[in-house]
Chains A and B, each alone.
Chain A
Amino acid sequence: MAGVSGTGVKASAQYRAVARIRWQILRNSLRRSRGQFELVARVITTLVFALTWGAVSIGLGFLAWQSALLGHLSILPLLLWPVLVLWQVTPIMLASFQENVDLSLLLRFPVRFRSYVLLYLVFGLFDLSSLMGSMVLIAIWLGLVIASPSLFWIATPALALFGLFNLLLTRMIFSWIDRWLAQRRTREFLGILVLFAVICLQLLNPAVHKHSALFGHLQQSAVFETVTRIQGFFPPGLAAAAIAHHHVEALVSIGTLVFYTLAAGALLSVRLHAEYRGESLGEASRLSVTTTAPRLPPVLASTAQPAAHAHVLAAIIRKELRYLSRSGVMLFSLVAPLVLVFIAGGSSLAQDRQALKYALPVAVAYCFLPLTRQVCNSLGGEGAGIQLYFISPTPIRTVMLAKNIIQVGLFALEVGLASIIMVYRFGQFPFGLVTVTLCWLLFALPLQLAVGNLLSITMAYRMTLTRLSREEGATGNGLVSLLVQLVTFGIGVGLYLCLNLMGQVRIVPAVLLALAICSFIAWRTLLSRVDTLAMDRRESLIATLVRPA
């Protein structure tokens, strides 16, 4: 092939091409106001995370500095474990609204496996979690080295290796979750695994609390020693041990950390190799047999009658449920927050009486989170099917109504389960608080649905229902929807606190009910105008959802 070197396409040229195309995509997206908004949303998200993580960095950096200064390097695991947890949890939090690039699209080109892996990792480096995690590690490193310059030679490789391990672990977890969520059997297996983990955590919690009395003399506690010993076998403990100890012990710790890093890399490599080979994550069998001879065209009787509203509603609801049941990613996003509620219910924070008092309303408000995508981007999963709604005689109003019915059902299920968890953990809540919570729900739900319908039409983005990756437009939509949720929650909290201060807490339900009537009217009004809105926006909706990947 003329123009192609004998050893094939140069990898560096491919990297440059990928970088250039990403830049061009960004530049082209700025031509539209939607793209500009998306960039602003991304900048805001990054700033919010940078500020949060910046504060964490300063705190942990200071603690590292003090520990090195005072020679208490044994506390280093307490600094590194939060880094690991935050690094791994942040991508899951961001997955619901941040754009992630699906690199499998590159596989149509002659890209070598190692180039594919490298690109996958480089994109991972620019993840918010990696950037923020690296920032904290640099702060810890600075704290250690400033306090004790002699630590430079061991803290540098130990923390760099720990950072690399975190990067590989995040990417590995994501790639395997994508794989497991793609197929029913593995989805069920993952579900059982998660359930098992949750039960283990719940059993662990009471055990820890039972022994909490012993924690007064931590150094003497056998439990503490066991925990310390066990954590020492894991990467945060190993990185800390490498820094705290000298010579042989440090080398052994670094060696074990290298082993962990390689293991995470190997597991990631297994997954990426399968992707690279062209693995399809579809659930259907590969073979298709078409042997039936074509018969005469079917006799098509008279033209269809006006659609019975109930039949159409039922059809759309059925379709939505089928979509939900076949999307591991959507099911995961529904279940994961409940798991967090379950875990939070058993945390030491939940022993705080003040926190306990408001556990129910907080848990109920939290239940909006898993439905953010379904509510605020309800057309995103339709793909080319969006055209059907515009060419069929069914009003878009009916489509949105059916989607809202499903959303209310799912929300009721989430709230029901969260409430059961709360009552199971903390017992019955005061009747007054339950009433206020219910009244707030009556206000918040129609408002969320109204805003969701509006965003679904005006800020739709294409959703991939089989992967955790998100497409362009996810950040802006996600940020606006989170903002609306915060405002809705803020109104409830503000109202409760103000009237409580004024000694008028009894009228909170009445005020919330009045607001609920307003939000219901807003939802009805918007629903009645949704056809006009959708027709006005149909070109951009179709262009966004139908365009090829």
Chain B
Amino acid sequence: MDAIACTGLTRRFDTFTAVDSITLNVAPGQFFGFLGPNGAGKSTTIKMLTGLLEPTAGKIQVLGQDFHAGALDLKRQLGVVPEGMALLGRLTAPEYLHFVGQMYGLDPVTTKQRTEELLDFMNLANERKKLITDFSHGMQKKLALAAAVIHAPKVLFLDEPFEGVDAVAAGTLKSMLQGMIHRGATIFLTSHVLEIVERLCSHVAIIHKGRIVANDSLENLRSGVTMDGVSLHGEAGTRLTLEQIFLNVVGADQASPAQELSWLA
């Protein structure tokens, strides 16, 4: 049984197809990186997988059950950090975590205890009285991640969790996510920071123009796997970095002729 499985997942906005019949399988306990250039369809896919967006076509299964926006029991097993972070700006961090805990059905005592642990862990304990709206972007990201894990989800969806997060905080988040993987959780992550994906993820899929153009274990991708006729091989005998893989797969028609902006100093 896959932790996440989608078949023929499609989303159209009028005549524009943002996600075009993609099929993905993420095994339990996998740290899955979902990459792609801007506008490739990453966020649209993660929104469909978390119930924030209705697919035009296709089927989604999470933890072996059909997933749709009304699948409340299934949602209890999921943690999500969506694109907009889903924070309530006029609450303080403890108030927000307490609120989220209760929304996920945790009893007040457990919620309180986990709130304290998470605030401590995320280095937010000194910011107890500050409204979330006054937090820096990085602090908001940490809080959003804390809220996504307070109910100990089995599957975690993270949309750009490291965007705007400093190196120290990124280290904290990475260690937490790795800890979750060791405990058997599944993580589905989108990121532009290829180094982070390379270090954390065991499997990677690359989406380009709404279609999956690479999807395998990082190890296989590094050693050179052909997909849709695109060779991922680098120099003979060398192992590719994720950046090289990414550029090989999506770079061909992304690269524009070398130009200079004459008006820049």
Q: Which residues of A contact B (CB under 8 A)?
A: 1-3, 280, 282-285, 288-292, 294-298, 300-308, 311-312, 314-316, 318-319, 322-323, 326-327, 381-388, 390-395, 465, 531, 535, 538-539, 542, 546
A283-B131, A307-B103 are contacts. A297–B179 as well, Cβ < 8 Å? yes
Q: Which residues of B contact A (CB under 8 A)?
A: 50-54, 69-70, 72-73, 75-78, 80, 82-91, 95, 98-100, 102-108, 110, 114, 117-118, 120-127, 129-131, 133-134, 136, 139, 147, 149-154, 171-172, 175-176, 179-180, 183, 263, 265
A303-B77, A542-B52 are contacts. A392–B104 as well, Cβ < 8 Å? yes
A290-B126, A297-B180, A326-B131 are contacts. A393–B87 as well, Cβ < 8 Å? no
The smallest C-beta distance from B169 to any residue of chain A, in angstroms, reads 9
Contact of B51 among A290, A304, A312, A391 (CB under 8 A): A391
Residue among B104, B130, B150 with the highest chain A CB neighbour number at 10 A: B104
Contact A292 B172 (CB under 8 A): no
Contact A538 B69 (CB under 8 A): yes
The interface residues of chain A lying within 8 Å CB-to-CB of B103 are 307, 312, 315-316, 388, 392-394
Residue among A304, A306, A386 with the highest chain B CB neighbour number at 10 A: A304
> Considering only CB atoms, which chain B residue lies closest to A301 in the complex?
B152
Contact B90 A322 (CB under 8 A): yes
The interface residues of chain A lying within 8 Å CB-to-CB of B139 are 288
Contact B153 A303 (CB under 8 A): yes
Contact B149 A385 (CB under 8 A): no
Contact A306 B105 (CB under 8 A): yes
> Considering only CB atoms, which chain A residue lies closest to B74 in the complex?
A393
The smallest C-beta distance from A109 to any residue of chain B, in angstroms, reads 18
The interface residues of chain A lying within 8 Å CB-to-CB of B118 are 298
The CA of A3 and the CA of B261, in the complex, are separated in Å by 13
Contact A315 B126 (CB under 8 A): no
The interface residues of chain A lying within 8 Å CB-to-CB of B52 are 387, 390-391, 538, 542
Contact of A535 among B70, B84, B150, B180 (CB under 8 A): B70
> Considering only CB atoms, which chain B residue lies closest to A298 in the complex?
B117
The interface residues of chain A lying within 8 Å CB-to-CB of B175 are 294, 296-297
> Considering only CB atoms, which chain B residue lies closest to A313 in the complex?
B102
> Considering only CB atoms, which chain B residue lies closest to A387 in the complex?
B86
The interface residues of chain B lying within 8 Å CB-to-CB of A326 are 90, 131
Contact of A465 among B82, B90, B108 (CB under 8 A): B90
Contact A319 B95 (CB under 8 A): yes
The interface residues of chain A lying within 8 Å CB-to-CB of B151 are 303-304
The CA of A119 and the CA of B122, in the complex, are separated in Å by 43
Contact B99 A319 (CB under 8 A): yes
Contact A304 B105 (CB under 8 A): yes
The interface residues of chain B lying within 8 Å CB-to-CB of A296 are 121, 175, 179
Contact A304 B106 (CB under 8 A): yes
Contact B105 A393 (CB under 8 A): yes
Contact B121 A3 (CB under 8 A): no
Contact of B89 among A294, A300, A385, A394 (CB under 8 A): A385
Contact A302 B152 (CB under 8 A): yes
Contact B121 A295 (CB under 8 A): yes
A301-B110, A539-B54 are contacts. A312–B102 as well, Cβ < 8 Å? yes
A322-B90, A391-B51 are contacts. A535–B75 as well, Cβ < 8 Å? no
> Considering only CB atoms, which chain A residue lies closest to B263 in the complex?
A2
The interface residues of chain B lying within 8 Å CB-to-CB of A291 are 126
The interface residues of chain B lying within 8 Å CB-to-CB of A395 are 72
Contact A304 B95 (CB under 8 A): no
A291-B126, A319-B95 are contacts. A393–B72 as well, Cβ < 8 Å? yes
The CA of A395 and the CA of B105, in the complex, are separated in Å by 12
The interface residues of chain B lying within 8 Å CB-to-CB of A292 are 120, 123, 125-126
Contact A307 B54 (CB under 8 A): no
The CA of A307 and the CA of B108, in the complex, are separated in Å by 11
The smallest C-beta distance from A529 to any residue of chain B, in angstroms, reads 12
A292-B126, A297-B180, A391-B82 are contacts. A307–B131 as well, Cβ < 8 Å? no
A290-B123, A301-B152, A383-B89 are contacts. A391–B95 as well, Cβ < 8 Å? no
Contact A311 B102 (CB under 8 A): yes
Contact A384 B87 (CB under 8 A): yes
The smallest C-beta distance from B25 to any residue of chain A, in angstroms, reads 22
Contact B121 A315 (CB under 8 A): no
The CA of A3 and the CA of B114, in the complex, are separated in Å by 56
The interface residues of chain A lying within 8 Å CB-to-CB of B53 are 538-539
The CA of A331 and the CA of B172, in the complex, are separated in Å by 40
Contact B72 A300 (CB under 8 A): no
Known: A288-B139, A539-B53. 6 other contacts (CB 8 A): A280-B134, A294-B123, A306-B73, A312-B103, A383-B87, A394-B103
Residue among A322, A327, A395 with the highest chain B CB neighbour number at 10 A: A322
The smallest C-beta distance from A383 to any residue of chain B, in angstroms, reads 6
Contact of B121 among A297, A316, A323, A531 (CB under 8 A): A297
The interface residues of chain A lying within 8 Å CB-to-CB of B54 are 535, 538-539
The CA of A492 and the CA of B104, in the complex, are separated in Å by 43
The interface residues of chain B lying within 8 Å CB-to-CB of A300 are 114, 149-150, 152, 180, 183
The CA of A289 and the CA of B129, in the complex, are separated in Å by 12
The smallest C-beta distance from B247 to any residue of chain A, in angstroms, reads 30
**Sample of 24 A–B contacts (CB below 8 Å):** A2-B265, A288-B139, A289-B126, A290-B127, A291-B126, A292-B123, A297-B180, A298-B114, A298-B120, A300-B149, A300-B183, A302-B152, A303-B77, A306-B73, A312-B105, A315-B103, A322-B90, A385-B87, A387-B82, A388-B100, A391-B51, A391-B75, A535-B54, A535-B69
The smallest C-beta distance from B149 to any residue of chain A, in angstroms, reads 6
Contact of A391 among B78, B107, B123 (CB under 8 A): B78
The CA of A2 and the CA of B52, in the complex, are separated in Å by 45
The interface residues of chain A lying within 8 Å CB-to-CB of B91 are 319, 322-323
The interface residues of chain B lying within 8 Å CB-to-CB of A465 are 90
The interface residues of chain A lying within 8 Å CB-to-CB of B263 are 2-3
Contact B76 A306 (CB under 8 A): yes
The interface residues of chain A lying within 8 Å CB-to-CB of B125 are 292
Contact B134 A315 (CB under 8 A): no
The smallest C-beta distance from A283 to any residue of chain B, in angstroms, reads 7
The CA of A304 and the CA of B79, in the complex, are separated in Å by 11
The interface residues of chain B lying within 8 Å CB-to-CB of A302 are 152
The smallest C-beta distance from A507 to any residue of chain B, in angstroms, reads 45
Residue among A302, A327, A391 with the highest chain B CB neighbour number at 10 A: A391
A306-B76, A384-B87 are contacts. A285–B121 as well, Cβ < 8 Å? no
The interface residues of chain B lying within 8 Å CB-to-CB of A301 are 110, 152
The interface residues of chain A lying within 8 Å CB-to-CB of B126 are 288-292
Contact B76 A304 (CB under 8 A): yes
